[in-house]
Amino acid sequence: MSFSLRSFATMVSSSLTTVQASCAQIIDISVGSPTRALMEAVGGVGLWLQYAVLQALQRTRLATSIGDDCDSFVADFGMSRLPGVAATGSVTLMSFTPDAQSAVILPSVTVRTVAGLSFGVAKDETHPAWSEGVGGYVRVRGQESIDVPVCCLKSGSIGNVDVGAISLMGTAVSGIDTVTNRFSFSNGFDQESDEQLRKRFPLWLAAQATASKASIANAVSGVQNGLSYTLQDGKATDGTARSGYFTAIINDGSGVPSRQLVQSVYGAIDSVRALGVGFSVRGPVVLPVSINMTVSVPMFVSEQDVQAAISTAIKKDIAQSPIGGGYAYSRLSYLAYVGAGIEVNSVTDVLLNGGQNDILPFDSQSLSIDSIEVNVIYK
């Protein structure tokens, strides 16, 4: 329902009209008169009271609350906002003289981008180069390079860097000269937004009755922000039919969720599943996506800005696509025209994986950006 609000001028005018109508004598209500000054003071207080009422009403509903008010609203029900997720990936450490000496990379080692964003080497005992004896990764003598996992030291999408962005050693390591990331990072997520929190709240309420599909979905989505998933009821891990069993397919944006994340999701589901119902948790089948297009822009637009804006819009859109949902070819042109927020005259020669067809839906398929090439011409 809409509110009947009054402006300051309307409040003063209606008050003066009422005063004049209620008095048998003509009253001086000109600017500067005592009566007008009194009504203007009353109008100011009335405007403040109107604003206070609107603020109170806004904070009593989740749909109109923002920021801390959203947090306090859902906290009354025992729910909280999901924190940000740090981006993870792999970097390649190289030596110019690999035959001269070996190298040990400890988990305390950091690498960084030119902009100063730091990443720390993460411990992974399943890594073939990990040595429990030295507590780090070992590049043996004669081996030119070694790939090690890293995690951004700042949570959020700020850690989603492009290929080659990590190029500096933050910690000097004997036997290591250079570093680079051969693949882009895309699994860093900011903390849950107000809109995401509002969307998850009804699911959270419905999940209070356990052993239901809503409770399973809430358990998965509550592990971390930015986690996409799909539930395959009556299917085993290999996709075959199996009664009394379901499979949860999850993706954190990397296409290969870590063992720790899979275990966390497994534990969350296990706490709400029905007794006697079996389940499994696994990652998706990753389909690499390559995109090519040619865009025509005005002369005053920078080529680098065009490429960066369109690439960012496409990456974000594909990252938000659900598991098994496929992808529409027509969205690429739409994103170039509208989603990138730049002035584009025309979009031609759009290719999605070398063709001009949609990516068809597939149960456990998740899309991962392989390459985006945007050719810019001026008209």
Note the pLDDT of residue 1.
53
Predicted confidence at residue 53, as pLDDT, reads 84
- The reported pTM is 0.65
* pLDDT for the residue numbered 14: 86
Q: Which residues contact 273 (CB under 8 A, 6 or more apart)?
A: 210, 211, 216, 279
* Helix, strand counts (H, E) of the chain: 8, 15
Distance CA 16, CA 12 (A): 6
Count other C-beta atoms under 10 Å from residue 303's C-beta.
Answer: 14
pLDDT single digits (tens) 257-282: 888 999 999 999 998 888 889 999 99
Average pLDDT for residues 308-325, to the nearest whole number? 89
Q: What is the pLDDT of residues 191-243, one digit of tens each?
A: 999 999 999 998 888 777 667 888 898 889 899 988 889 999 999 988 899 99
Asked whether the predicted pLDDT for residue 55 surpasses 90, the reply is: no
Q: Hey, what are 8's tokens?
A: 């300051």
Which region among 149-153, 157-161, 213-217 has the lowest average model confidence (pLDDT)? 213-217
Rounded CA-CA distance 46/49 in Å is 5
pLDDT category of residue 2 using cuts at 50, 70 and 90: low
